[in-house]
A and B are shown apart, each in its own frame.
Chain A
Amino acid sequence: MNWETVIGLETHVQLSTKTKLFSRASTTFGASPNTNVNLIDCGLPGVLPSVNKEAFYKAIRFGMAIGAHINQTSIFDRKNYFYADLPKGYQITQMDLPIVLGGSIKILTDDSTKIINITRAHLEEDAGKSIHDEFDGFSAIDLNRAGTPLLEIVSEPEISSAKEAVAYMKAMHQLVTYLDVSDGNMAQGSLRCDANVSIRKSGDSELGTRTEIKNINSFKFIEKAINFEIKRQIKVLESGEKVTQETRLYDSAKDETRPMRSKEFANDYRYFPEPDLLPVVISNEEMQKIKDEFPELPTEKEIRYQNEYGLSSYDAQIIASSKSMADFFESSLTGVKNYSLLANWLIGEISAYLNKELIEIHESKLSSENIAMLINRIDDQTISGKIGKSIFEEMCINGSSPDQIIESKGLKQITDDDSIEKVIDEVIENNSEQVQGFKSGKEKLFGFFVGQVMKKTQGKANPQTVNKILKEKLAK
């Protein structure tokens, strides 16, 4: 039997506003428990919310980027349920009139691109955090996260594999970081998703019964959780049973999904318009300002990098695909003459190092000034590319500047012909056997001579000069 998978994703993006959606408490991650909390966040009697417009501007920027309709008048609703980390007993969210309607996102799979349509995106406040394992016999509540602004982005059920789901989330990550609407930090929960998964016989027009996998927060887990769920549902259907519509959790340790207790989601949320807030109206002037301040998007950067800096389309695309890489490239440009060399280093050595360490460039010790200096020293032949690599390794460890390292270790390249010629003469003199061999046709021995020269100069001799003089001398 051939099965077809249908996936819709609900993505929660934590917006990078300084303060919360309805209070002026800070949203900084990692503060001591219950310190980023004010009267409003803990839902004291008599308090009222007031809207943080910054969250709206960020949501609108996202909406504009995906070509959506922006509801310039949007309203908040209350979603009522009891939970210990939900201080008011309701969450303020948007139900009937969300800020963003429609739009689409382009995703890249192995060999092609695909358009995924977006149903809607709405603003809502996050809940706090319940901690069950730190105090014996008690649960603890940390309200630091309560009231943090989230943009919930709902896709149409147009994703047809776990791979596509990952591609969608990667595209989402690129977009929200590029737009500066979120830091996109998945480990800290700034970007997470719920996946609605169902399967049906190939060619069927009706959707199968779906399950919802809650709160997945890494690209790897998205793929694993969805693939597990697809296999599970196929097994259920092929054994003649029915898929139960339910909410499931992905357990990464066991690599499986399992149902949440039904109590935890069998809620009637009793939505109704939030009477403590008036409809939020965004003026045409505000819309224009958001348009005027719109950040450059990856495809625009790609084209500009090719036109302004002469990068190849491949290099331009790779650098532009990551916001942090593109930012680093642009801030390193000042003072650099050889843009392609900078691009090569970013895509080569620097990316390799970051991938190995699993960090983003802004989390490393590398500064754009130091990388620019390194590129310039290679470009002006102060050092060779090979020495450059060893300097780079040291920069990664202690963040010191290339000039300092060159100075303290005496790594400056020997470029004057006389000094190099002197060393070459010595090498030829001391290795007459190899010279004979070379002259009798063993041309591979050329590398031996280069190696000897480099050894004697501790790698500081300019390789081009060495090659040139060696060739002349050995030809005699």
Chain B
Amino acid sequence: MSIQFKSITELNKLLDSKAISASELTQESIQLAKKYSELNCFVTLNEENSSKRASDIDRNKKNTSLLSGIPLAQKDLFCTEGLKTTCSSKILSNFKPPYTATVVKKLEDAGSITIGKTNMDEFAMGSSNETSFFGSVHNPWKKGFVPGGSSGGSAAAVAAGIVPAATGTDTGGSIRQPAAHCGITGLKPTYGRISRWGMIAFASSLDQAGPLARSAEDCAILLNSMSGYDSKDTTSLNADVPNFLEDINQSIKGKKIGIIKEFNLSDLDTEVQKRFDESKKAFENLGAEFIEVSLPNISASVPTYYSIAPAECSSNLSRYDGVRFGHRAENTDDLNDLYIKSRSEGFGDEVKRRILIGTYALSAGYYDAYYKKAQQVRRLIKNDFDQVFKSIDLLMTPTSPNTAFKFESKGTQNPVELYLEDLFTISSNLAGLPAISIPHGQVNSLPVGLQLIGNFLREDQLLNAAHVFQQNSDFHNAKPNLENF
């Protein structure tokens, strides 16, 4: 029996009925990872430890969690004790953390099994997974095409059916955009919903962990385990965590969905536009009402984000200096030389570019014009959202302006071209709001994603709307043809 492409709920039933053991399931998952190694989803496979953990779980049947015995993949920026955690960077290519991230610990405490660490854009900086030190990841739907980024390895592993779900992080769209490009479901929760302890920082005030899975329901299962206040991350929210499965089936009749006036959808590819209009109709058929709303400052999202995120990154990445851990250059003259050589050798171009931009934005004389101004605009954008959520339940946009593109076709000459990929996703990071991407069809045999943005801490509404949509459509069940890999 193949477990490929099966959902968590399906796998859980098989485990419960003893049609399969956790050991067999883990074994199969690892075999699939090896079989599709050409996809380049994984930086590290956790073969030995995961089979040990699986047999422990088989022996000890007490765990009744839906995640018990389920193989998962973790984005390679979540620290895993004793297991390499590289951020897909040369500078951490041999880093074995002495501790485990809260997110991974919570998922493992629920009985899941980490089968490996997934490829990503270096330090999560990128939208195509091409900045990885370990090479590009192929989109399972089309060889030689990007899976999106930065959580590209996680998205491709789920899309290829290697694991039913994986973790990702989203700083400006890094869960939702690859989920869209790979035809799966990806959720970025409210900022603070999930602990950042052990999650290697890119931009602290924007980074948020979240699940990538085959359906909204599976995302809800992961979110149930991942959420909650953590005293080790004092920016995490001390808010009640509902059972996200509880109201997931509720009717969405009468729900008000906003369409953002400032996003001129007529500029989009006509096919992408067509998918969007069709999904709008589908939601109307399910009883939702659409309202055009205005977020006057939202068009400033991309420049705002590209001032704040690099600024924080330039400071967060200062600790990679070759002194205590990570890559250290050889034959250096003095301390300064050690810094310069270790960092020049250890970081890739995109990371260097963002460190430079961020250092500039924080410099004396420029701080007020860039970083401070960006924070003020960020506040305005957040206020716009607060205003519209007084009269609506959800917002709906495309996840990405385009479908997946060919390797090395975008951003190589002009990085800004690639930054515009994040147009629809960035504003919810700036405002700290939850957002989900669900597949809603294809254009030229490549998946297209639909984004729903929710109000503060209202992941339940997002999951509910997405689930009801998926109960009434088949887009999320589409499977790529993997015979070329």
A positions within 8 Å CB-CB of B: 39, 42-51, 78, 80, 82-84, 87-90, 139, 141, 268, 270-272, 275-278
| Residue in chain B with minimal CB distance to A22 | B234
A89, B315: Cβ atoms closer than 8 Å: yes
B319, A278: Cβ atoms closer than 8 Å: no
B324, A87: Cβ atoms closer than 8 Å: yes
Residue from A42, A50, A271 in contact with B324 in the complex, judged by beta carbons closer than 8 Å: A42
List chain A residues, Cβ under 8 A from B233: 48, 50
Residue from B92, B235, B315 in contact with A272 in the complex, judged by beta carbons closer than 8 Å: B315
Complex Cα spacing A372 to B391, Å: 78
5 contacts between A and B (CB under 8 A): A45-B200, A46-B196, A270-B367, A271-B362, A272-B315
Complex Cα spacing A79 to B318, Å: 11
List chain A residues, Cβ under 8 A from B97: 44-46
Chain B's interface size range is 35 or more
Complex Cα spacing A278 to B231, Å: 13
Residue from A47, A84, A268, A278 in contact with B364 in the complex, judged by beta carbons closer than 8 Å: A268
Asked whether A88 and B367 contact (CB < 8 A) given A44-B98, A45-B79, A276-B235, the answer is no
List chain A residues, Cβ under 8 A from B359: 270
Complex Cα spacing A277 to B235, Å: 6
The answer to whether B422 has its CB under 8 Å from any CB of chain A is no
B79, A268: Cβ atoms closer than 8 Å: no
Residue from A45, A50, A141 in contact with B234 in the complex, judged by beta carbons closer than 8 Å: A50
B335, A84: Cβ atoms closer than 8 Å: yes
Complex Cα spacing A45 to B94, Å: 13
List chain A residues, Cβ under 8 A from B78: 46
A44, B197: Cβ atoms closer than 8 Å: no
| Residue in chain A with minimal CB distance to B207 | A275
Residues of chain B from 311 to 363 with CB closer than 8 A to chain A in the complex: 311-312, 314-315, 318-321, 323-325, 335, 339, 359, 362-363
Known A-B contacts: A87-B324, A276-B204. Give 12 more (CB < 8 A).
Answer: A39-B98, A45-B87, A45-B97, A46-B97, A48-B235, A51-B234, A80-B318, A82-B321, A82-B339, A275-B203, A275-B205, A276-B234
Q: What is the interface of chain B mostly: helix, strand, loop, or mixed?
A: loop
B323, A47: Cβ atoms closer than 8 Å: no
List chain A residues, Cβ under 8 A from B362: 80, 270-272
B315, A48: Cβ atoms closer than 8 Å: no
Complex Cα spacing A365 to B165, Å: 68
List chain A residues, Cβ under 8 A from B319: 43, 45, 87-89
Residues of chain B from 62 to 87 with CB closer than 8 A to chain A in the complex: 77-79, 85, 87
Q: What sequence of 0s and 1s flags, for each residue 216-240 of chain B, a beta carbon within 8 Å of any chain A beta carbon? A: 0000000000000001111100000
Complex Cα spacing A452 to B139, Å: 111
A43, B315: Cβ atoms closer than 8 Å: no
B231, A50: Cβ atoms closer than 8 Å: yes
Asked whether A48 and B234 contact (CB < 8 A) given A90-B318, A270-B362, the answer is yes
Complex Cα spacing A78 to B335, Å: 22
Residue from B205, B234, B315, B323 in contact with A80 in the complex, judged by beta carbons closer than 8 Å: B315
Complex Cα spacing A348 to B206, Å: 65
The answer to whether B198 has its CB under 8 Å from any CB of chain A is yes
A53 to chain B, nearest CB (A): 11
B197, A46: Cβ atoms closer than 8 Å: yes
The answer to whether B95 has its CB under 8 Å from any CB of chain A is yes
List chain B residues, Cβ under 8 A from A82: 318, 321, 339
Complex Cα spacing A89 to B342, Å: 14
A46, B235: Cβ atoms closer than 8 Å: no
Residues of chain B from 98 to 130 with CB closer than 8 A to chain A in the complex: 98-99, 101
List chain B residues, Cβ under 8 A from A88: 318-319
List chain A residues, Cβ under 8 A from B198: 46-47
| Residue in chain A with minimal CB distance to B325 | A44
Complex Cα spacing A275 to B374, Å: 14
The 10 lowest CB-CB distance pairs between A and B, nearest first, are: A89-B318, A270-B362, A275-B204, A275-B205, A46-B198, A45-B200, A46-B79, A43-B319, A46-B200, A50-B234
| Residue in chain A with minimal CB distance to B101 | A46
A278, B324: Cβ atoms closer than 8 Å: no
List chain A residues, Cβ under 8 A from B325: 44-45
Asked whether A270 and B87 contact (CB < 8 A) given A44-B325, A82-B339, A87-B324, the answer is no
The answer to whether B371 has its CB under 8 Å from any CB of chain A is yes
Residues of chain B from 347 to 390 with CB closer than 8 A to chain A in the complex: 359, 362-364, 367, 371
List chain B residues, Cβ under 8 A from A48: 196-197, 232-235
Complex Cα spacing A124 to B1, Å: 60
Complex Cα spacing A328 to B314, Å: 53
Complex Cα spacing A276 to B199, Å: 12
A268, B197: Cβ atoms closer than 8 Å: no
| Residue in chain A with minimal CB distance to B359 | A270
List chain A residues, Cβ under 8 A from B320: 45
The answer to whether B448 has its CB under 8 Å from any CB of chain A is no
List chain A residues, Cβ under 8 A from B232: 48, 50
B455 to chain A, nearest CB (A): 21
A46, B318: Cβ atoms closer than 8 Å: no
The answer to whether B179 has its CB under 8 Å from any CB of chain A is no
Residue from A78, A87, A270 in contact with B363 in the complex, judged by beta carbons closer than 8 Å: A270
| Residue in chain B with minimal CB distance to A141 | B323
Asked whether A47 and B197 contact (CB < 8 A) given A80-B318, A87-B324, A89-B321, the answer is yes
The answer to whether B453 has its CB under 8 Å from any CB of chain A is no
Complex Cα spacing A220 to B234, Å: 44
The answer to whether B187 has its CB under 8 Å from any CB of chain A is no
B92, A45: Cβ atoms closer than 8 Å: yes
| Residue in chain A with minimal CB distance to B233 | A48
List chain A residues, Cβ under 8 A from B205: 275
Which of the listed residues A48, A51, A90 has the most CB atoms from chain B within 10 Å of its own CB?
Answer: A48
Complex Cα spacing A84 to B334, Å: 11
List chain A residues, Cβ under 8 A from B87: 45
Asked whether A39 and B204 contact (CB < 8 A) given A84-B323, A87-B319, the answer is no
Complex Cα spacing A50 to B195, Å: 13
Residue from A42, A45, A272 in contact with B311 in the complex, judged by beta carbons closer than 8 Å: A272
Residue from B95, B203, B321 in contact with A45 in the complex, judged by beta carbons closer than 8 Å: B95
Complex Cα spacing A89 to B318, Å: 5
Complex Cα spacing A39 to B362, Å: 27
The answer to whether B436 has its CB under 8 Å from any CB of chain A is no
| Residue in chain B with minimal CB distance to A139 | B335
Q: What sequence of 0s and 1s flags, for each residue 129-155 of chain B, a beta carbon within 8 Å of any chain A beta carbon? A: 000000000000000000000000000
Which of the listed residues A45, A83, A84, A277 has the most CB atoms from chain B within 10 Å of its own CB?
Answer: A45
